[in-house]
Amino acid sequence: MKSRIFLAVTLLALSAGLAVAKPNANKRVGLTITQVTNMPDGGQLKPGSYQMELLNDASAPQVAFYQNNKLVCKCPVKLENAPSKIQFTKMLYDLGGGTRVLKSLSVAGWTQVVVFSGSAGSGSGT
């Protein structure tokens, strides 16, 4: 009888933990772009306020940028674990060839860095 109760409590605890943990949950954050920003896939973000949503599908994560609730661009990304929780939002750019291409994005409070697929080159800036 005690083993059945233990098993029931253990299964309840495991299912409760699975319900709380959503590793593939999408995240959304507001961003302000101050300069024309090109995306590695050829899209472009003009200066203004955006909502960026991380579509966290483990096999093929993407980000979508929305302005005034309208989809402006969607890009494939890679997620890299940060050494600790990110303190400040920071955008890194590839500045090669006279254009500003978004290379990676670190969002304050997140534990992963968004790295844009197809970004290449060694120059970066903020």
Task: Write the DSSP assignment of 74-115 as a string of letters.
Answer: EEEEEEEE-SS---S-EEEEE-GGG--EEEEEE-TT-SEEEE
Answer whether 26's CB lies under 8 Å from 55's CB.
yes
What DSSP character marks residue 70?
E
Residue 9 reports pLDDT greater than 70 = no
Q: Residue 69 to residues 29, 30, 88: CA-CA distances in angstroms?
A: 13, 12, 25
Tens digits of per-residue pLDDT, 80-89?
999 999 999 9
pLDDT averaged over every residue in the chain: 78
Tens of pLDDT, residues 47-74: 999 999 999 777 789 999 999 999 999 9
Parse the chain into domains and list their residue ranges: 23-116
